[in-house]
Structure 1
Amino acid sequence: MGARVVRMFRNVNLENRVHREISKEKPRVAPRHAVKPQPFAGSSEALETAETVNQKNDPLLSHLRSVYVESTDPAAPPPPAAAAAKQPSKEETASEVAERRPLKVILPGGLYSLAELTEVPKGKLTIAEALKALGSHQHEPKKCTPEKIAQDFSLDLKDTKALLEFFIPFQVHVIPPKNEKVKKIKAS
């Protein structure tokens, strides 16, 4: 029923509105950009252009002759036998082990579909280690100081302080209601 009423009001005086719109003066179209007509193949302009293009330019040719390009193929990869023959020395292996530390927090198998890690490079943290360090510092800031966290996880002290200052994952803010009549949850 409402659609009929809306249609009636929409179509009231429709013909007069259409005539008024049609009789309005139309806006003028913007003038087109003046384009120079393309010369035909047989015209004199086309012949002059073709002559200038085909004409030899001696200074440009002499510059072109002075350019010398030398190209070489990239070095071929070493054969697989040579790669297997090169074993890391004991010194290299010892330095790599010294730069890694054992994992402090063990994730349950299959969590986040990550590969199981046993070692972490020094100066780096896994997500689980970072969350554990942040949580322990938040619960016991006097016992778990930035210096102790930096020492336990082989981190830089400056980075550890920045991590504890700017990364706060478990902070809850309770905003009190504006009026006192609102029921509050009692802490148990």
Structure 2
Amino acid sequence: MSKMGARVTRMFRNFNLENRVFRELSKEKPQAAPRHEAALPPSAGGSEAVEAMNQKNAPLLSLLRSVYVESKDPEAAAAAAAAEVSKEVTGDDEAGRRPLRFSLPGEQYGLVELTDVPKGKLTIPEALKALSSHHRQPQTWTAEKIAQEYVLDMKDTKALVEFFIPFQVKIIPPESGGAKQIKAS
């Protein structure tokens, strides 16, 4: 029954639609109300206010001439001093970059191919290689050797070796003896 009702209402709604549209368009449109004539504000039209603004005030001008401001950016000065100290410590006049030691083949991991790395930084492949070497041979690859090899800070290298353990797999035995286990073939 609802289909029938929808059809009937559509028929009445669309009946003689063109004639109704032409009739509505041919009606006279209502006119907008006339704008109220307002006088200009006194500051915009008054020439006295404009003249007062353009005149020089001698006492204020003399006070302005007596003021001298010299400013320096404290952050820029601190950054320049830190850069000088770091150059003295490393003894290099270079830009502070070292050649890349290790990289993953191709761009399959979405990494951009790098040629050099800032000193004190590691790429992800270098970090993984250094940590896995330390994990396999801790006597050979000590934190000191890793720091020297990759030009890193000793404190950061010790923390990295101590707290970041890659690829550590722990197999937890099941609690109940009746559980099925997968046998290694």
Give the alignment's TM-score, normalised by structure 1: 0.45
Give the alignment's TM-score, normalised by structure 2: 0.46
